[in-house]
Amino acid sequence: MSADGRGPDVATNRAARFSYEIVETFEAGIVLTGTEVKSLRDGKARLQDSYAAIEDGQVYLRGAYIPPYPPARDNHEPERSRKLLMHRWEIERLIGRMQRKGLTLIPTRIYFKGKRAKVELALARGKQQQDKRRQIRDRDVARDVERELKQRNR
DSSP three-state, residue 75: coil
| pLDDT level of residue 79 (50, 70, 90 thresholds) | confident
Q: Return the number of other C-beta atoms located less than 10 Å from residue 3's C-beta.
A: 5
Side-chain half-sphere CA neighbours of 5 within 13 A: 7
Domain boundaries, given as residue ranges, for the chain: 6-127
- The answer to which of 23-27, 41-45, 71-75, 79-83 has the lowest mean pLDDT is 71-75
Q: Return the number of other C-beta atoms located less than 10 Å from residue 68's C-beta.
A: 15
pLDDT tens, position by position, 3-16: 566 668 888 888 87
- pTM (2 d.p.): 0.75
* More confident position, 69 or 86: 86
CATH homologous superfamily for the domain 6-127: Small protein B (2.40.280.10)
pLDDT at residue 60 in the model? 94
